C-alpha cells in the first residue's frame, strides 16, 4: 500500500470510480508466478493466444503476435495451453528475475474521457 | 385531514414524494402499503416506474440499480423480505445510494409469525442505513417525507429505513394530518444525484472491487456520513415543523424532565407507555417516557443528557439479542451511559411475535424501577409465560 495514496476525505464516496479505464494503472503483472515467453521462430501468428487471453495482455501489431504486456499479464498460462505449435513456454519468474518488464513494452493507457 | 392506516399513510407520503422508481415485492404486513401505492401508479396519480420483481433480493437489487442510474427510489418490506434483501441492503448503504424504505416491523421466522416485533429492522442496525421508528400513523407519514430529505442530503447520502409496527400501526386507522401535494413537492425538492450512471458525459463505475488499499477509507466515509446524519436529521425535523406544525428530533421526551423513573421505548409501545405515564402522573408519580425515534445514528450523548437526572431507566426491546445480555437498544443505551452517569439501565425484552404489551405491564416496569428491582446484566422477558 502506497504512502502517497489519498485519504478518506479525498476520494469519491461509495467506491465509485470517476476515471474510467483506470484499471490500467493497476499492474496485475506483479501477481505473476510464471511468465509466458514466445518463441517467434515457431509462432505462426494464428492469434489464438490473443483471442483467449483473459486480460488483453497479448500485444498485436500489423495482425501479428508482438509479445506480451507484462505489466498486466497474470501468468495464467492459457496462451501457452491453446498455442497449436507450442511456441509459448511458461517459465517460473524466479528463473528470469533478471529480465526487466520494460524490455517487453507496455500498451498505452486508454485515452481520458 | 385523513383517516388512514399506517400503511396507507406511508403510501400517501410516497405518492406525494412521487419517486422515480419503486421496485417492490409483497409481504405481510407490508402488502397493503404497496398495494395502495400500486393503485396510485395504475391511476396515473404518480409518475413512478413501478417494477414488480420476483423476490425482495431483486427488489433491493433493482432499487440499487435505479438509484445508481440517478433515480429517486423507494421500496418497502417486512421481516423475511428484509432478510432476503440482506446482501443488497449493505450494498445500497456502502454505494451511498439514498434509497428510502418503509419497513413494516414483523417478527422474523421461525417459527413463522406475521405480527409485530423489531427483529427484522434490528438485525440490520449495523448495515449503514439510517433508522427512524414511528409511533403512530401520523409519524409514519411525517417520517417518510423527512426520510427523503435526510437520505439525499449531500453530507449524508445514505439510505433510510422508516419503520412502523406491523398491524398495530400498519393496519390501524388513525387521523393523519397530511400536507398539500405542493408543500411536499417543495419540501423534498428535486433530486440531484451525485454520480448518476445515466449521465454519459461523466461515465462512472459503481460497485468495483475495493481491496486492502481503499475499502477501509470508504468505510470511514460511511461512518462519518452516519455521524453527520444526526445534525441533518435535526435540521430537517425542524424545517418540517415549520411547514407542518410538527417538529421532530432524535427522540421524544414525555414528562421526563422531572421524572425519577423513565421508560425508553421505540415504535407503538411508546404510545402505550405514555398512557401508563398519564395514569401514574395523575396519582402524582414522577415517571416519564423517552421515545427513541432515531436508532441509527445512535444519539448517545443526547440520551445521556436526557436520562442523567433520573434515578433509573428501563429499556424496552421488541427483539431478543440471543446473547445472554439483552436486546440491541438496551445494549446501546447501557454502553452510552457507561462512565458518563451513574443512572442504572434495566433491560426488558417484550412483545415478541406481536405479544401484547399493556399500560399495566409498563406500570409494572415502573414498579420494578421504584423497588430497585433492576435487570442490568441480563434483560427480563416481560410477558412470557413461565
Residues of chain A contacting B94 with CB distance shorter than 8 Å = 14-15
Residues of chain B with a CB closer than 8 angstroms to some CB in chain A = 94-97, 157, 194-195, 202-208, 210, 212-215, 217-218, 220-221, 224-225
Residues of chain A contacting B203 with CB distance shorter than 8 Å = 20, 113
Q: Which residues contact B367 (CB under 8 A, 6 or more apart)?
A: none
Cell representation of residue B192: 440531484
The whole-angstrom distance between A7's CA and the closest CA on chain B is 7
For residues B286-320, one letter each, b for 16 or more C-beta atoms within 10 angstroms of the residue's C-beta and e for the rest, the string is: bbbbbbbbbbbbbbbebbbebbeebebbbbbbbbb
A residues 74-113 lying closer than 8 A (beta carbon) to B: 113
Q: What is the band of A96 on the pLDDT scale with cuts at 50, 70, 90?
A: low
Residue B305 has a pLDDT of 97
Query: What domains does chain B contain, in order, with CATH numbers?
Result: 2-244 (3.40.50.970), 251-382 (3.40.50.920)
ipTM above 0.85, yes or no: yes
Q: Which residues contact B3 (CB under 8 A, 6 or more apart)?
A: B173, B174, B175, B176
Select from B197, B211, B214 the residue whose CB has the most chain A CBs within 10 Å, as the one to mutate to test that interface: B214
Residue A113 has pLDDT above 70, yes or no: no
A7–B96 C-beta distance less than 8 A: no
Query: What domains does chain A contain, in order, with CATH numbers?
Result: 27-104 (3.30.70.20)
Residue B173 has a pLDDT of 98
The whole-angstrom distance between A62's CA and the closest CA on chain B is 31
The whole-angstrom distance between A11's CA and the closest CA on chain B is 8
Residues of chain B contacting A8 with CB distance shorter than 8 Å = 217-218, 220-221, 224
Cis peptide before B29 (omega within 30 of 0): yes
The reported pTM is: 0.91
CB B167 within 8 A of CB B354: yes
Q: Which residues contact B212 (CB under 8 A, 6 or more apart)?
A: A1
Query: Which residue(s) pair with B175 in the sheet?
Result: B3
Q: Please compute the mean of the pLDDT values over residues A49-59 and round it to a whole number.
A: 96
Cα–Cα distance for residue pair B361/B222, rounded to 1 Å:
40
Residue A4 has a pLDDT of 82
A5–B214 C-beta distance less than 8 A: yes
Residue B358 has a pLDDT of 98
Q: What is the band of A41 on the pLDDT scale with cuts at 50, 70, 90?
A: very high
B202–A18 C-beta distance less than 8 A: yes
DSSP per-residue letters across B147-184: HHHHHH-TTT---EEEEEETTTTTT--EEE-PPPHHHH
Residues of chain B contacting A113 with CB distance shorter than 8 Å = 203
* Per-position pLDDT tens, chain B of length 386: 899 999 999 999 999 999 999 999 999 999 999 999 999 999 999 999 999 999 999 999 999 999 999 999 999 999 999 999 999 999 999 999 999 999 999 999 999 999 999 999 999 999 999 999 999 999 999 999 999 999 999 999 999 999 999 999 999 999 999 999 999 999 999 999 999 999 999 999 999 999 999 999 999 999 999 999 999 999 999 999 999 999 999 999 999 999 999 999 999 999 999 999 999 999 999 999 999 999 999 999 999 999 999 999 999 999 999 999 999 999 999 999 999 999 999 999 999 999 999 999 999 999 999 999 999 999 999 999 99
Q: Which residues contact B208 (CB under 8 A, 6 or more apart)?
A: A15, A17
Q: Is the dihedral of CA B196, B200, B203, B205 positive or negative?
A: positive
- Which of B204, B210, B212 lies at the smallest CB-CB distance from A18? B204
- Which of B97, B203, B217 lies at the smallest CB-CB distance from A11? B217
A13–B210 C-beta distance less than 8 A: no
Amino acid at each position: 500500500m502506497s504512502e502517497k495514496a489519498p485519504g478518506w476525505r479525498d476520494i469519491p464516496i461509495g467506491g465509485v470510480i470517476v476515471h474510467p479505464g483506470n484499471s490500467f494503472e493497476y499492474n496485475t503483472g506483479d501477481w505473476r508466478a510464471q511468465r509466458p515467453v514466445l518463441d517467434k521462430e515457431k509462432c505462426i501468428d494464428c492469434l489464438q493466444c490473443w483471442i483467449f487471453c483473459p486480460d488483453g495482455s497479448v500485444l498485436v501489431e500489423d495482425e501479428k503476435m508482438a509479445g506480451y504486456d507484462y505489466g498486466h499479464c497474470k501468468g495464467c498460462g492459457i496462451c501457452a495451453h491453446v498455442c497449436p505449435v507450442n511456441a509459448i513456454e511458461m517459465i517460473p519468474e524466479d528463473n528470469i528475475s533478471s529480465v526487466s518488464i520494460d524490455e517487453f513494452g507496455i500498451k498505452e493507457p486508454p485515452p481520458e474521457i | 385531514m385523513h383517516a388512514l392506516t399506517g400503511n396507507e399513510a406511508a403510501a400517501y407520503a410516497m405518492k406525494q414524494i412521487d419517486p422515480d422508481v419503486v421496485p417492490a415485492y409483497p409481504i405481510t404486513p407490508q402488502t397493503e402499503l404497496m398495494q395502495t401505492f400500486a393503485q396510485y401508479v395504475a391511476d396515473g396519480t404518480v409518475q413512478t416506474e413501478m417494477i414488480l420483481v420476483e423476490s425482495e433480493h431483486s427488489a433491493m437489487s433493482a432499487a440499487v440499480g435505479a438509484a445508481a442510474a440517478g433515480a429517486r427510489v423507494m421500496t418497502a418490506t417486512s421481516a423475511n423480505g428484509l432478510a432476503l434483501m440482506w446482501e443488497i441492503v449493505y450494498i445500497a448503504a456502502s454505494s451511498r445510494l439514498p434509497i428510502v424504505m418503509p419497513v413494516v416491523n414483523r417478527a422474523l421466522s421461525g417459527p413463522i409469525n406475521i405480527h409485530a416485533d423489531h427483529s427484522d429492522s434490528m438485525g440490520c442496525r449495523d448495515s449503514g442505513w439510517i433508522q427512524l421508528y414511528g409511533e403512530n400513523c401520523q409519524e409514519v407519514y411525517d417520517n417518510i417525507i423527512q426520510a427523503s430529505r435526510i437520505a439525499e442530503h449531500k453530507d449524508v447520502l445514505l439510505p433510510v429505513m422508516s419503520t412502523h409496527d406491523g398491524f398495530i400501526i400498519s393496519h390501524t386507522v388513525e387521523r393523519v394530518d397530511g400536507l398539500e401535494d405542493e408543500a411536499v413537492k417543495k419540501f423534498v425538492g428535486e433530486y440531484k444525484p451525485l454520480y448518476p450512471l445515466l449521465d454519459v458525459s461523466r461515465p462512472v463505475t459503481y460497485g468495483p472491487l475495493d481491496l486492502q488499499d481503499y475499502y477501509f477509507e470508504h468505510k470511514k466515509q460511511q461512518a462519518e456520513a452516519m455521524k453527520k446524519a444526526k445534525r441533518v436529521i435535526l435540521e430537517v425535523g425542524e424545517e418540517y415543523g415549520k411547514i407542518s406544525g410538527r417538529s421532530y428530533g432524535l427522540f421524544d421526551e414525555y414528562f421526563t424532565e422531572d421524572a425519577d423513573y423513565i421508560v425508553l421505548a421505540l415504535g407503538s409501545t411508546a404510545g402505550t407507555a405514555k398512557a401508563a405515564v398519564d395514569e401514574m402522573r395523575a396519582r402524582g408519580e414522577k415517571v416519564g417516557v423517552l421515545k427513541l425515534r432515531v436508532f441509527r445514528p445512535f444519539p448517545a450523548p443526547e440520551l445521556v443528557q436526557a436520562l442523567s437526572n433520573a434515578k433509573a431507566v428501563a429499556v424496552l426491546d421488541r427483539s431478543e439479542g440471543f446473547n445472554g445480555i439483552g436486546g440491541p437498544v438496551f445494549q446501546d443505551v447501557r454502553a452510552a451511559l457507561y462512565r458518563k452517569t451513574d443512572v442504572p439501565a434495566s433491560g426488558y425484552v417484550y412483545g415478541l411475535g406481536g405479544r401484547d404489551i399493556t399500560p399495566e405491564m409498563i406500570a409494572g416496569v415502573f414498579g420494578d424501577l421504584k423497588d430497585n428491582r433492576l435487570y442490568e446484566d441480563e434483560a427480563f422477558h416481560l410477558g412470557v409465560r413461565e
